[in-house]
Amino acid sequence: MRNLWIFISKYNAFFFFIVCFIISIALVVRNNSYQRSGVFNSANHFIGETYSRINKAQRYLRLAEVNDSLAKENALLRQELKMSFFDDSVAEQTIKDTVSRQQYTYIVARVVNNSIHLKNNYITINRGKRHGIQNGMGVIGPSGVVGIVKDVSEDYATIYSLLHGDTKISASITESQAFGSLVWGEENTNPRLAVLQDIPNHIAIKTGQHVVTSGYSTLFPAGLPVGRILRTRERGGESFPEIEVRLETDFATLQYVYVIKNLFGPEKENLEKLSKKDG
């Protein structure tokens, strides 16, 4: 404390000048409208800039929370899409009773591990049995199809992404309704390309046509985006051309996914198993 008083007494003239300067500025601002307006405008600009920078910093720190919230909201919105409902329409003569029943629900999950350059690529998500995830469920991302759930623990699950040799998705070309199987291919090394197989030669195929899920499996609703046709190569002596598809999903930047639960899936699978037994 003694040192503080010595410091103040040593520089008392400077502090006296500062006090007088502040008082004079205050008097000028108080008694002159032009100066007062200028000071207030400058102060408001400075305070506004300060608040803006603080707000940007707070928004940056809350990005993870905001992303989680948006992903949950997207999952709820997907459940409201027309493709997520089953049309229970009964038509008899002039009577039609239509009831829409929920067929698909979506569980949002965050990607915690991902590979894109291996021969067989996997994705790990932070949702498991405890959250309703089961083996064999379809998985989509914000842009399109991602893959199929493979193994599940209590809190995590691994996914065969589209970039896996064992993944096969039933897909169709929107413009022609022709359907086939989408695979990545053993020799493929590009994470944005896949091959659509089993489309007959007589089908007219053009670059840029849309490839979507066919809806024939229990994994995905019909019409979900898969990609666009990039090029077609005829194979000598083969009835089916090799159709190269550019995938909508960018696996290198994938952060959130939606796991699809088909509420009617078990019923359809059990019925088809009975039919196979009869065959």
What percentage of the chain exceeds 90 in pLDDT?
27
> What pLDDT score does 217 carry?
84
Task: Specify whether 110 is located in the same domain as 69.
Answer: no
Task: Specify whether 149 is located in the same domain as 60.
Answer: no
Residue 124 covered by a domain? yes
> What pLDDT score does 95 carry?
40
For residue 129, the enclosing domain spans 104-279
CA distances from 254 to 6, 7, 29, 56 (A): 64, 61, 57, 25
How is residue 269 written in tokens? Answer: 């699978």
Q: pTM of whole model > 0.85?
A: no
How far is it, in rounded angstroms, from Cα 172 to Cα 180? 6
Q: Measured in whole angstroms, how far is the alpha carbon of residue 193 from the centre of its chain?
A: 19
Mean pLDDT for the stretch of residues 28-45: 58
Task: Specify whether 50 is located in the same domain as 123.
Answer: no
Task: Specify whether 171 is located in the same domain as 67.
Answer: no
Mean pLDDT for the stretch of residues 135-147: 92
Residue 80 covered by a domain? no
Mean pLDDT for the stretch of residues 59-66: 61
- 179: domain CATH number is 2.40.10.340
How far is it, in rounded angstroms, from Cα 133 to Cα 153? 9
Residue 228 covered by a domain? yes
Residue 83 covered by a domain? no
Using DSSP, state whether 100 is helix, strand or coil. strand
Domain boundary among 53, 73, 93: 73
What's the domain count of the chain?
2
Q: What is the pLDDT of residues 188-238, one digit of tens each?
A: 788 999 999 988 888 888 999 999 999 888 889 889 999 999 998 876 667
Look at residue 274 and tell me whether its pLDDT is greater than 60. Answer: yes
Q: Which are the contacts of 162, defined by CB distance < 8 A and separation ≥ 6?
A: 145, 146, 147, 169, 182, 184, 194, 247, 249, 251
Task: Specify whether 163 is located in the same domain as 237.
Answer: yes
Q: What is the pLDDT of residues 73-131, one digit of tens each?
A: 676 666 666 555 544 443 344 444 445 677 888 888 888 999 888 889 999 998 899 98
Task: Specify whether 118 is located in the same domain as 250.
Answer: yes
Task: Specify whether 277 is located in the same domain as 145.
Answer: yes
